[in-house]
């Protein structure tokens, strides 16, 4: 069954119904799209379906590409015809009209379920769309065979829909919904035939489009199902799919294709159901739009005011860099870049002033942060100096003002004058001359001669005749042929042989007549196309203020009256926006909605000011707990492999990093020999599917993961989890460098946590690090009171950095060293 022929048959039948009953109205395609210029209905040949509707019920939402209720004609793979009425609406309406539309089809649904003869098919509850169809139970060899069944279906369903519309409008009078009016019908059909006249029938090779659509459609269904069942296996599948599409249509540039990240799969998986398969040519635009939407949603999920809190060494400052980049530049995918590249991006954004870093301390004041009067030295022409006082902006006010600055971009604006515009002007001018009985004369290549337009046919074709003779032959020039020539020869000066080159484009015809019309068209376009540079305002960019150690300052005093203004609904451009007059400059000030504040807070610092309730309720809090798993050797190697996934083993950037890590972990030769095989398995499984690929191998480095877990478990028992030790003190350390980290970071923290109570420190570190100090009878002066303290035990730290240390574990003959002390700490036997 031919697609175009089927459309004609359907249109003729629907129009015959309309001729019999003018109130039987239906929709036809209003706009042309590539490959569908001569189509009667919405749909394309490559999609093998088209549809019409009988109602005017406006609906619009992200991803919408169809009417609320459609009669669909679908050609199956076996070339048989399937007919059904589809009801389709988002379950998350973004307007009251969309809400009413959803309510309408939900009211209709139970009434259609009980209809005999027809098949009722309902979409899954998990879909984000309300979807059901009423299907004719058979597939038909031809449309004529289906007419009686179709007529019966329409007579059953149209009255139900009409009735439910009336019922709902009684409840919601503002609901826009009605049958298409006869005048709407007439207008739509007139516009359709005008489009037919405008576009010539052209042969279109749809092979590539059909194959591309087939791949996309089949991929979408299969991928969503398969990914849900086993996500790890399909991480790389999107790339294969994109390359398949690219091979047929070159839809996506090679450069852009290589930049899509594997993590995009999760987004595409969710968004594919929204893709309009008619628009395959716009797949790149579709993919870009959902990535942009995803990036924006990531920013929207990020609180405007947030504090990262946790014990020392848990990566609070480290993570503020990541968060700040994600906010300021959402297109920068962290997982696609090395830490060095991330730091470079952070520096770039700080250099631009998009990210500002500051640290609160006890002497930080309102005048430093918001604004204050500061002394300046002014020198006169004669060299005399004097002190003046000026209002100077503080850190917060400066970045707020930067965030509010409008952004502009100079763009070349082309006031397009198209082929259609030039053709319309030619028709108008020719008609006017014909009415004045003074035919319009068009130039030809021969000087002083020309062709005059003597008539315009009913189909809009020009009739031309040489000016030198009334008896000469009349030549016909059509819109379609001139359009084809214009597409090839927008500049006639490049033509060397008019007859030969025109014939190659439009076949044998009078080249002089076509040259004269095309010359008029090209000149008009050249004359009336205007180029100018305009200044376009761009959307504001996100700005980030990082406040390290936010609770070390007196926050209420530093923010002052602005503490209220940082609330989301009080920001500028919001409904409840507030501005206040600042005390020194007396100028109005508000906090922009594109300024994000990220603070860090050390939960173990006893010297800090307590955050008051007013501040706490204006910030979101994210806990940064120790992550011992980051110290796991297998995880560290896997992270390195994925970070450099596109590099060769001997790449000059990758190889030093591998050597450095393998040396740090004291990797075995067995692992080195098997790494390429394991990497192959990791790639096959996909990133994030599982971990632990290198757990079977032994490593020479101390098990830092177990060590940190053991220490923190004991601290939590003795104090609380806010005084844990962070993983940062172990990052990048080997069996030698960890010694300094113990004595310079970990032990001092424990001394602070336990107020110098070495008994408790000993419960954490064990006998290998804390030993009993031998009391000497001569410690105290001769005084009666000394007996109360002479028997008291005291302890000291065993310092293994001392080369002269000779420490034997009490009650044994074991000569201790740092490694043995670590074994004791972890309750492992020491030999």
* Distance (Å, whole) CA 303 – CA 306: 6
- 282 close to 34: Cβ distance less than 8 angstroms: no
Residue 745, pLDDT above cutoff 80:
yes
Residue 696 has what pLDDT? 94
Break the chain into its structural domains and give their ranges. 3-198, 207-301, 349-406+540-623, 419-534, 628-685, 704-825
Residue 159 has what pLDDT? 95
- Please indicate whether residue 265 or residue 337 has the higher confidence score (pLDDT): 337
* Distance (Å, whole) CA 53 – CA 490: 41
* Distance (Å, whole) CA 397 – CA 399: 6
Residue 259 has what pLDDT? 46
- 109 close to 121: Cβ distance less than 8 angstroms: no
Residue 215 has what pLDDT? 46
- What pairs with residue 597 in β-bridges? 305, 545
Q: pLDDT tens across 61-120, in order?
A: 544 456 899 999 988 767 789 999 999 888 888 789 889 999 999 999 999 988 888 889
- Could you say which of 3.30.2420, 1.10.3470, 2.40.320, 3.40.50 is the CATH number of the domain covering 349-406+540-623? 3.40.50
Residue 42 has what pLDDT? 86
SS3 371: strand
Beta strands 595-602; 305-310: pairing state? parallel
Residue 257, pLDDT above cutoff 70:
no
Q: pLDDT tens across 149-186, in order?
A: 999 999 999 999 999 999 999 999 999 999 999 888 88
- 471 close to 458: Cβ distance less than 8 angstroms: no
Residue 456, pLDDT above cutoff 70:
yes
* Distance (Å, whole) CA 73 – CA 603: 66
Residue 466, pLDDT above cutoff 60:
yes
Please choose, from the candidates 782, 781, 753, the residue with its C-alpha nearest in 3D space to the C-alpha of residue 765: 753
Residue 729, pLDDT above cutoff 60:
yes
How much is the average pLDDT of 739-753? Answer: 95
Q: Give burial (CB, 10 Å; 0-12/13-18/19+) of 153.
A: buried
Count of CA atoms in the C-beta half-sphere (13 A) of 158: 17
* Distance (Å, whole) CA 261 – CA 815: 55
Residue 30 has what pLDDT? 79
Residue 365's alpha-carbon distances to 351, 372, 396, in angstroms, are: 25, 9, 12
Confidence band for 204, pLDDT divided at 50, 70 and 90: very low
Confidence band for 789, pLDDT divided at 50, 70 and 90: low
Torsion angle in degrees (nearest 10) through CA of 391, 397, 401, 402? 120
* Distance (Å, whole) CA 595 – CA 327: 10
- 142 close to 82: Cβ distance less than 8 angstroms: no
Q: How many CB atoms lie within 10 A of CB 424?
A: 11
Q: Which residues of 98-113 are buried (b: 16+ CB within 10 A; e: fewer)?
A: bbbbbbbbebbbeebe
- Please indicate whether residue 561 or residue 235 has the higher confidence score (pLDDT): 561
Residue 198 has what pLDDT? 67
How much is the average pLDDT of 541-559? Answer: 91
- What is the sign of the dihedral through the CA atoms of 806, 811, 812 and 817? negative
Please choose, from the candidates 537, 521, 284, 554, the residue with its C-alpha nearest in 3D space to the C-alpha of residue 409: 537
- 382 close to 572: Cβ distance less than 8 angstroms: no
Token couple for 255:
């450069």
H/E run at residue 42: strand 42-44
Name, in order, each residue with C-beta under 8 angstroms of 435's C-beta and a sequence gap of 6 or more. Answer: none
Confidence band for 763, pLDDT divided at 50, 70 and 90: very high
**Whole-prediction pTM value?**
0.55
H/E run at residue 312: none
Q: Which residues of 192-204 are buried (b: 16+ CB within 10 A; e: fewer)?
A: beebeeeeeeeee
Name, in order, each residue with C-beta under 8 angstroms of 273's C-beta and a sequence gap of 6 or more. Answer: 63, 127, 128, 129, 220, 224
Confidence band for 237, pLDDT divided at 50, 70 and 90: very low
Residue 59, pLDDT above cutoff 60:
yes
* Distance (Å, whole) CA 813 – CA 787: 33
Lowest mean pLDDT among 205-219, 494-508, 596-610, 686-700: 205-219
* Distance (Å, whole) CA 664 – CA 736: 10
What's the Rg (C-alpha) of the chain?
A: 39
Q: pLDDT tens across 415-431, in order?
A: 668 888 899 899 999 99
Residue 821, pLDDT above cutoff 80:
yes
Token couple for 285:
């635009």
Residue 13 has what pLDDT? 93
Length of the chain: 831
Token couple for 815:
């000569």
* Average pLDDT for the chain: 83
């Amino acid at each position: 069954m031919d697609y175009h022929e089927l459309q004609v048959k359907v249109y003729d039948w629907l129009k015959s119904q309309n001729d019999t009953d003018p109130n039987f109205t239906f929709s036809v395609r209003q706009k042309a799209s590539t490959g569908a210029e001569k189509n009667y209905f919405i749909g394309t040949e490559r999609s093998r379906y088209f549809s019409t509707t009988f109602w005017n019920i406006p609906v619009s939402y992200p991803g919408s590409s169809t009417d609320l209720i459609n009669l669909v004609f679908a050609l199956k793979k076996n070339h048989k015809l399937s007919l059904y009425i589809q009801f389709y609406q988002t379950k998350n309406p973004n307007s009251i009209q969309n809400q009413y539309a959803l309510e309408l089809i939900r009211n209709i649904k139970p009434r259609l379920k009980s209809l005999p003869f027809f098949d009722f098919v309902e979409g899954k509850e998990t879909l984000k769309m309300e979807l059901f169809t009423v299907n004719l139970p058979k597939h038909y060899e031809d449309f004529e065979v289906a007419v009686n069944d179709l007529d019966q279906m329409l007579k059953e369903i149209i009255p139900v829909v009409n009735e439910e519309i009336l019922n709902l409008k009684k409840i919601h009078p503002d609901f826009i919904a009605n049958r298409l009016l006869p005048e709407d019908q007439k207008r739509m059909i007139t516009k359709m035939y005008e489009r037919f006249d405008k576009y010539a029938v052209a042969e279109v090779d749809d092979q590539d489009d059909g194959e591309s659509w087939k791949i996309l459609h089949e991929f979408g269904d299969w991928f969503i199902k398969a990914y849900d069942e086993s996500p790890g296996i399909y991480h790389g599948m999107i790339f294969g799919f994109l390359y398949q599409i690219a091979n047929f249509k070159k839809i996506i540039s090679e450069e852009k294709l290589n930049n899509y990240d594997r993590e995009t799969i999760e987004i595409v998986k969710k968004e594919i159901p929204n893709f309009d398969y008619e628009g395959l040519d716009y797949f790149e635009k579709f993919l870009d739009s959902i990535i942009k939407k995803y990036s924006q949603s990531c920013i929207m999920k990020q609180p405007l005011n947030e504090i990262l809190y946790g014990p020392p060494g848990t990566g609070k400052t480290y993570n503020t860099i990541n968060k700040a980049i994600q906010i300021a530049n959402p297109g920068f995918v962290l997982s696609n870049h090395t830490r060095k590249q991330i730091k470079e991006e952070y520096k770039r954004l700080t250099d631009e002033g998009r990210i500002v870093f500051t640290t609160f301390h006890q002497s930080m004041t309102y005048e430093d942060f918001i604004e204050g009067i500061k002394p300046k030295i002014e020198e006169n022409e004669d060299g005399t100096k004097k002190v003046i006082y000026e209002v100077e902006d503080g850190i917060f006010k400066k970045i707020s003002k930067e965030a509010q600055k409008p952004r502009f971009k100079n763009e070349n604006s082309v006031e397009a004058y198209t082929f259609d515009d030039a053709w319309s002007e030619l028709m108008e001018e020719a008609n006017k001359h014909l009415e004045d009985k003074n035919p319009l004369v068009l130039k030809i290549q021969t000087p002083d001669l020309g062709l005059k337009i003597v008539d315009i046919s009913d189909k809009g074709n020009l009739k031309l005749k040489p000016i030198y003779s009334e008896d000469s032959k009349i030549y016909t020039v059509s819109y379609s042929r001139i359009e084809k020539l214009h597409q090839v020869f927008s500049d006639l000066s490049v033509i060397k042989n008019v007859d030969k080159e025109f014939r190659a484009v439009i076949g044998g015809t009078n080249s002089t007549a076509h040259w004269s019309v095309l010359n008029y068209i090209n000149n008009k376009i050249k004359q009336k196309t205007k180029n100018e540079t305009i200044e376009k305002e761009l959307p504001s960019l996100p700005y980030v203020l990082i406040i390290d150690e936010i609770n070390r300052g007196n926050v209420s005093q530093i923010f002052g009256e602005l503490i209220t203004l940082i609330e989301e609904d009080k920001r500028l451009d919001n409904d409840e926006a507030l501005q206040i007059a600042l005390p020194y400059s007396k100028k109005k000030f508000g906090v922009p909605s594109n300024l994000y504040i990220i603070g860090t807070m050390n939960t173990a610092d006893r010297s800090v000011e307590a955050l008051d309730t007013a501040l706490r309720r204006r910030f979101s809090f994210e806990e940064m707990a120790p992550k011992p798993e980051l110290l796991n050797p297998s995880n560290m190697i896997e992270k390195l492999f994925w970070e450099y996934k596109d590099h060769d083993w001997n790449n000059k950037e990758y190889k030093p990093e591998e050597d450095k890590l393998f040396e740090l972990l004291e990797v075995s030769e067995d692992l080195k020999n098997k790494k390429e095989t394991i990497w192959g398995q990791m790639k096959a499984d996909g990133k994030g599917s599982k971990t632990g690929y290198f757990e079977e191998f032994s490593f020479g480095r101390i098990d830092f993961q177990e060590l940190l877990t053991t220490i923190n478990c004991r601290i939590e028992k003795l104090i609380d989890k806010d005084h844990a030790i962070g993983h940062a003190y172990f990052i990048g350390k080997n069996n030698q460098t960890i010694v300094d980290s113990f004595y310079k970071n970990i032990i001092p923290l424990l001394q602070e946590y336990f107020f110098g109570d070495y008994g408790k420190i000993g419960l954490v570190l064990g006998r290998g690090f804390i030993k009993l100090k031998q009391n000497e009878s001569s410690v105290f002066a001769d005084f009666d009171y000394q007996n109360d303290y002479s028997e008291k035990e005291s302890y000291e730290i065993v310092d293994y950095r001392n080369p002269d240390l000779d420490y034997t574990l009490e009650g044994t003959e074991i000569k201790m060293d740092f490694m043995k002390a670590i074994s004791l700490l972890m309750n492992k036997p020491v030999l």
